[in-house]
Amino acid sequence: MTTEFTLDEQLLEKINRFSRKKLTEEEIYCFPVILCDNEIDRDGERFSVAALNKLAKLFIGKTGIFDHDPKGSNQSARIFDTCVMEDPSRTTGAGEPYTALTAKAYMVRTSGNADLIAEIDGGIKKEVSVSCGIRSRKCSVCGSTKCRHVKGQSYGGVMCHTILDDPTDAYEWSFVAIPAQPNAGVSKAAAISSGKAEKAELPAAEETVRRELITQVMKKSWIREPRLVLDRYREYLETLGTDRLAELKKSLDDVCAASAADDAPCITGEYTAKFSADNKKYKI
């Protein structure tokens, strides 16, 4: 399964549907993008295959910006073609064949975007995130839009998540630092590997930092919400990278600081001691 393409006359014609003047191949820079897929993402959500097929039509002509900031000055590229691609050799966490919405994007080469083009080619500007309207959000356990199943918890050995279905509109796609969907981004040949992805082995120093972040996030989260199911929460945290864990810890630190300012301390010695005593089996 490859997303790489070669600009030909047919694709050039699709690009020129959006331009006022007829652009030549020399004036254009093109690149492939994986916009979104049917894998369960960091937020415990996934697109249905039907939603991906509908979004394929909706994203034609949509602009690429930065950090979902809808300023005109942020416009950097535009999608001129899309395709829903399936990799039957790869199975998602929901047991489906891996399916991705891919796109072809272009920008006009200028002196102002030369650095951006170099960063895209060099793999610096890579990760992307989509913004779209969704009419239906279904529970993966019961199929209902309103139920008591908790996203992130396991039912019958399967993790509950939200299925995003029936998109109503596609607004834009953005270059971001940390996308909700790990596979979303500028791609190249064989960017989507076959088979289940293996967890990359981190350097010892970074793994130590990651372990400490998981410990701190679990502790601070449990103190805020003692009803938290720790073993399930740890399973979720284990799927996150170091940067995402650091973001979660900072967010919790900010909440605790705000609580302390209101004379309602977030973390107390009593709660911390209880946490440690009740959860030795989690090696916290």
Kindly list the domain boundaries of the chain, sorted by start residue: 9-186, 204-278
**236-252 residue pLDDT tens:** 777 777 777 787 788 88
255 pLDDT higher than 90: no
Q: What is the pLDDT of residue 199?
A: 42
User: CA–CA separation, 59 vs 105, rounded Å?
Assistant: 11
Q: Which two tokens stand for residue 255?
A: 């909440």
CA atoms 50, 56, 62, 65: torsion sign: positive
Q: Is 209 helix (H, G, I), strand (E, B) or coil?
A: helix
User: Could you tell me if 163 and 52 are in contact, meaning their C-beta atoms sit under 8 angstroms apart?
Assistant: no
Q: What is the pLDDT of residue 229?
A: 64
Burial class (CB in 10 A: 0-12, 13-18, 19+), 132: buried
**61-89 residue pLDDT tens:** 999 999 898 888 889 999 999 999 999 88
Q: What is the pLDDT of residue 96?
A: 92
Q: What is the pLDDT of residue 203?
A: 59
Q: What is the pLDDT of residue 188?
A: 52
52 pLDDT higher than 90: yes
Listed residue (91, 99, 125, 123) closest to 1, CA to CA: 99
59 pLDDT higher than 70: yes
Binning pLDDT at 50, 70 and 90, where does residue 220 land? confident
Q: For residues 255 and 3, which has the higher predicted lDDT (pLDDT)?
A: 3
**137-196 residue pLDDT tens:** 999 999 998 888 888 888 887 789 999 999 999 999 999 988 888 889 887 533 333 333
Binning pLDDT at 50, 70 and 90, where does residue 233 land? confident
Which residues are CB-contacts of 56 (< 8 A; sequence separation ≥ 6)?
82, 83, 84, 101
Whole-number percent of the chain with pLDDT over 90: 45
Amino acid at 186: V
Mean pLDDT (the chain, rounded): 82
